[in-house]
Structure formats: structure tokens, C-alpha cells
Structure 1
Amino acid sequence: MAETDAKSEHTVSYSISAESKTATHTVIEARDFEFSVDEPTNVGGTNAGPNPVEYMLGALAGCLNVVGHTVAEEMDITVRNIAVSIEGDLDPRKFMGRAEEPRAGYQDVRVDLTVDSPADEATLADWLETVEARCPVSDNFQNPTPVSLSVTSD
């Protein structure tokens, strides 16, 4: 049996680096890009960028778009555009240290895809099922992913 932490020859690794600018503002570098994560001013941030959980929803939208177009091409379905609307609900009490339950992350995420396509409903239902199964970000939302944290002091 293979070790669970062994990478296959097909594994692609991604990495970022980040540094805090303030208690709420983080600057992230990914490949040749830099972006900010921050909280809105009404919760003590400087509003220098979307907050972490908004980026999660944005990552899901971006991934669904890429996978949606890829799958449509493979299935020979004409898709002129995909508009994605996502809402997620979370209870901030655990994050704020005010309660142990419920979990800190999203409790519910609702995704609506509006597809500009001449395809019929049955074809689009098959397309959506394939998109959901193949979207890496959707997979991470729906399944536990091991995360290993460590700390080093300067």
C-alpha cells in the first residue's frame, strides 16, 4: 500500500508566500502575482482586499469557470459564458473565540451557475455533474483535506 504523503508522478504542487502587514492585512505572493487579504473596516481591518473566506468563494467561482469551459469543450457543448453567483454562511463565534461550536468554516455554500448555452436541460445537468466532480476547489470544500501546520520563531 502506498504512503498517503507520497506524491505521485502526476502531482502538481502549488505554493505561495505571505507576510502580515498589519494584524488584519496580509500580502500574498503567488507566482508572478501579489494580492492582499484584509478584513473590512467594520471589523477592524483596513479593507485592502477581500477577506480570506471571500477569497475561498472567489476561488470556487474561478475553478468552476475553468472546469466548466473545459468540460463543455470535451462534451462538445457550446458554452458562450458562465456567470457564477455564490453565497456562503458561517458563524464567526468560534473564530472570535466566543464559542466552541459550530465549526469555524462555512456551514453552507450555495452556488448558482447561469450558463449561456443552447444545450438542453438534461445535457447541462450531465455537464454540471461532471464539473462538480472534477473541480478541485469544490472537492476541497466538500471533502476533508489534511493540513499540517508548524511554527518557527525568528
Structure 2
Amino acid sequence: MTTTTHPTTTERPGETNGVPTAKMFGAIAKFTDNAELAQFRFSAKNSWVDGTASTSTIHEWYGIGADQLHVQEFQFSSDHPTLGHGYGPTPQEYVLHALASCITAGIATGAAARGIKLNRATSTVTGNIDVRGVLGVDQDVRKGFSGIEVSFDVDADADEDQIDALIASATKYSAVFDMLTGPTQVTVGRTEA
């Protein structure tokens, strides 16, 4: 698994909370003027490792009208605690991470857009699942999470109402929140030879 170290947040010219605000507002203007530039495609390549473990590689993506590459290739391993060998978190835990990190990014960019200094944003996200559904023990039990709770602790140079508004806005515009709360068409098939 790729481990990335993150520098501590230091203000660089033209950035608020580490967010390049001119670039962010410029992108919004471009996407407003040209909807084709706003069409993004993300992908992950996954390979089975052993037992219930697999590794996904994320590097290539499409956006702003062209094929793109992340600064580096990222690898994530996943496994299951009772049937696996401990190669990584469960796929369900990655979903929780995706939700928390997507909303957190929205808090950071929302604060930057409003000129609010963000000092700290942490969260705990918890999902409840009855694995009888996944294992086929009971066909009436849902296979996915029955509920997810996200609890944020945000310290910012803002009052409580402004912080609540940041969290609400970040949740409203979170792509992962939308994927989890609204239907998404998913097609599963085989790669053609």
C-alpha cells in the first residue's frame, strides 16, 4: 500500500486552508461556461491477491477535456476480517473513508471560498451492517449498510452557525454522500477479450 505523508497546513500565497482559491473559482467559471470540461471519469484497476484480499491501483483519470494522471500511482489493499488474512481494511470501510474524506474536502473548500480559516476538521464515521445478508444466510437482510453516522469536530475562525453551515453545505455537495443516498446505475460484466 502506498503511504503518503502530508505536510502540515501552511498558508501559501493565493491559498486559504491550503486550497488555491483562484484556481477553484477559475475552474467553476470554466465549468459554468463549458459543461463538457466538467465531465470527469475516475477508475480503479483491481487484482485478486489471495483468499478474500484484492489490491486496487488508482492512477489514470479523465477530466477537463483530456486524459490525466495523478501525481503518483496509489495502491489500496482490502480484505475481510473473518475470512481474510489481514491484508487491509474491508471494502465497506473504504466506503466510510470515502464519505468522510469527501465531506471533509467540502468543508475545507467551503471554508476557503468564504474566507474562513480552518484550524482542524476531524470526523468519526460509523456504518452498521448485518453480514447475514452478504453471506446469504438470510435473503431478507440487506447486504449493505443499514445506516451510517458521521460526526464532525470542526475548529475554525467562525461561529457555531457558520460551522454548521459549512458541514451542511459540504454534505449537500458531496459526491460520495449523493452516491450513498441516491440510486446510482452500476453495471457489472466481463471484459471483452
TM-score range, shorter chain: 0.7 to 0.9
Shift of 1:106: 0.6
Of the three residues 138, 143, 153, the one matched with 1:99 is 138
How far does the alpha carbon of each residue in 1:104-144 deviate from its partner, in whole angstroms, 9 at most, with x for none? 11111010110011311211122122111111111111111
Q: Which has the higher strand share?
A: 2
Structure 1 stretches of 4+ with a deviation exceeding 6 A read: none
Q: Deviations over 1:50-90 (max 9, x none)?
A: 01001110111111221110011112222111101011101
**Once the two structures are aligned, what percentage of the paired residues are identical?**
28
Q: CA RMSD in A?
A: 1.5
SS in structure 2 opposite 1:48?
coil
Q: Which string of whole-angstrom CA distances, capped at 9 and with x for unpartnered residues, describes residues 9-62 of structure 1?
A: 12100011111112301011101111211112xx12011100100111011111
Amino acid at match of 1:33: F
How many corresponding residue pairs? Answer: 145
The answer (yes or no) to whether the contact 2:111–2:117 under 8 Å persists in 1 is yes
3-state secondary structure, aligned to 2:56: strand
Mapping of residues 24-63 of structure 1, within 5 Å:
24-31=52-59, 32-40=73-81, 43-63=82-102
Q: Is 1:19 equivalent to 2:47 in the alignment?
A: yes
C-alpha separation between the residues in 1 aligned to 2:104 and 2:167? 11
TM-score by length of 2: 0.71
Query: Partners in 2 of 1:29 and 1:77 — Cα distance?
Result: 35
In the alignment, structure 2 segments of 5+ residues that lack a partner are 1-34, 60-72
